[in-house]
Amino acid sequence: MSSRVPTPFDLLSSGLLLVNHRREVMEVNLAAEDLFGSSAVVLRGTPLARLLAEPGRIGDLLVDAEQHEYRSRRLQVTWWPPGRPPTDLDTVVRLVNEGEVWVSIELREQDIALRIDREERQGALLQMNQSLLRNLGHEVKNPLGGIRGAAQLLDAELPTAALREYTQVIIKESDRLQSLVDQMLAPVRQAVERQPVNIHEVLERVRQLVLLEFPQGIGIRRDYDTSLPEILGDTEQLIQVVLNVTRNAAQALSEYGPNPVHAHAPCTITFQTRAVRQVTLHRRRHRLALQLRILDNGPGIPEPLRKEIFFPLVSGNPKGTGLGLTIAQTIVNQHGGLIECVSSPAGCEFQITLPLSPGELR
């Protein structure tokens, strides 16, 4: 970021900020410049609150630290420097109280061990989801055929149209349930047809579809790395993934508008693509992977749902079936990738990582 001569402070791999009593940044090291995408010259003097999604949190913590005299606290904080997407960072806040320096803040990308652990948990949950879907599918499908058939026979025997209304309800509802089960089972059954896919064409298709479906008041911003190579995948299935995630964001935005952090901002969804190096996905190390982030500035996922949104039939939307994210996760998984959700007061972010190079078993 900067061409100044490095000091020992700059040689640290974690980002470091020194903050004064006015809660302004006094000094930053090179790693922090990288994390925030700004130079020290710009960052010095910036109020801490302008870099945070939830400005109150660190301040409250430190006032508490001064009163109770503990010196440091470690927590996950959503940082949100101007012009950059919000990022969750492992954050250690230390009370310094020396001269002008009030606190030091150390920032690290989330622990690799933590990430692998999360991936494994996600893999186990996904398998559970899929066998649950398959079993449930069978259990519901077989009797459903019988119920529908019997209702049809009864329908033919009934003497009046008024009575046939009841059998029609049974038939219609059986058909609805049947199509729900088919939808649930579709991604589990379909094989992935791998062909070179340009992710930006997928994104453009979804952008067009969503803008048509929500013609009023939602913008989709693109932040593409157009130098990315093609991925091997199934175009239609990848469209389904991006569409399911983006449609949720558009539904939340059209229902609730932007969250209070962005009270006067327009409703915005952002598609961001980047290359990431040396990524572990499903215990395989990939030299190169594609990271697709779909961000929105809406209300975020309601707290009670946060841990469960990838489960089938979990929905916060009265008109939803709760299958969109389950299907997205199944497809991403079949492509050897990972889908994760970060919901913060700054909005909601879905991060999809897909391999761009063959993986080596770790």
Ligand X SMILES: Nc1ncnc2c1ncn2[C@@H]1O[C@H](COP(=O)(O)OP(=O)(O)OP(=O)(O)O)[C@@H](O)[C@H]1O
Binding mask 199-218 for ligand X (x = CB under 6 A): --------------------
Binders of ligand X among residues 323 to 342 (CB under 6 A) are: 323-326
Residue 16 makes contact with ligand X by CB under 6 A: no
Identity of the residue, 312 or 324, whose beta carbon is nearer to Mg ion in the bound complex: 324
Which amino acid would we find at residue 121?
R
81 interface partner picked from Mg ion, ligand X, none, CB below 5 to 8 A per type: none
Identify residues 288-327 at the interface with Mg ion (CB under 5 A). Answer: 324
Say which entry of ligand X, Mg ion, none residue 267 contacts (CB below 5 to 8 A, set by partner kind): none
CB of 158 to Mg ion, least distance (A): 39
CA distance 206 to 244: 9
> 322 is in the binding site of which of Mg ion, ligand X, none (Cβ under 5 to 8 A by kind)?
ligand X
CB of 290 to ligand X, least distance (A): 21
Residue 348, contacted partner among Mg ion, ligand X, none, CB below 5-8 A by kind: ligand X
Answer for which of 15, 187, 258, 298 binds ligand X (CB under 6 A) is 298
Nearer to Mg ion, 78 or 244 (CB): 244
279, 296, 339, 342: residue in contact with ligand X (rule CB under 6 A): 296
What minimum distance in Å lies between the beta carbon of 324 and Mg ion? 3
The region that residue 278 occupies, defined by phi over 0 for left and psi between -120 and 50 for alpha, beta otherwise, is left
Q: Is 65 in the site for ligand X (CB under 6 A)?
A: no
User: In the bound complex, what is the minimum distance in angstroms from residue 205's beta carbon to ligand X?
Assistant: 18
User: Binding to ligand X by residue 301, rule CB under 6 A?
Assistant: yes
Residue 322 sits in the site that holds ligand X (CB under 6 A): yes
CB of 253 to Mg ion, least distance (A): 13
H, E, C per residue of the chain: CCCCCCCHHHHCCCEEEEEECCCEEEEECHHHHHHHCCCHHHHCCCEHHHHECCCHHHHHHHHHHHHHCCCEEEEEEEECCCCCCCEEEEEEEEEEEECCEEEEEEEECCCHHHHHHHHHHHHHHHHHHHHHHHHHHHHHHHHHHHHHHHHHHHHHHCCCHHHHHHHHHHHHHHHHHHHHHHHHHHHHHCCCCCEEECHHHHHHHHHHHHHHHCCCCEEEEEECCCCCCCEEECHHHHHHHHHHHHHHHHHHHHHHCCCHHHCCCCEEEEEEEEEEEEEEECCEEEEEEEEEEEEECCCCCCHHHCCCCCCCCCCCCCCCCCCHHHHHHHHHHHCCCEEEEEEECCEEEEEEEEECCCEEEC
Number of Cβ within a 10 Å radius of residue 88: 15
* Distance (Å) of CA 135 to CA 16, 140, 142, 354: 51, 9, 11, 28
Return the CA Rg of the chain.
25
Q: Would you count residue 330 as binding Mg ion (CB under 5 A)? A: no
Which residues 223-262 are close enough to bind ligand X by CB under 6 A? 244, 248-249, 252
Q: What residue type is 48 in one-letter code?
A: L
How many chain residues are in contact with Mg ion, going by CB under 5 A? 2
Closest contact distance (angstroms) between CB of 320 and Mg ion is: 5
- Residue from 78, 248, 268, 330 touching Mg ion (CB under 5 A): that is 248
Tell me how far, at minimum, the Cβ of 264 lies from ligand X, in Å.
19
* 346, 253 Cβ separation under 8 angstroms: no
Minimum distance from residue 201 beta carbon to ligand X (Å): 23
Q: Considering only residues 138 through 157, tell me which ones interact with ligand X, judged by CB under 6 A.
A: none
- Check binding of 31 to ligand X (CB under 6 A): no
CB of 270 to ligand X, least distance (A): 12
Q: Does 48 bind ligand X (CB under 6 A)?
A: no
Interface residues with ligand X (CB under 6 A) are: 244, 248-249, 252, 296, 298-301, 305, 309, 314-317, 320-326, 348
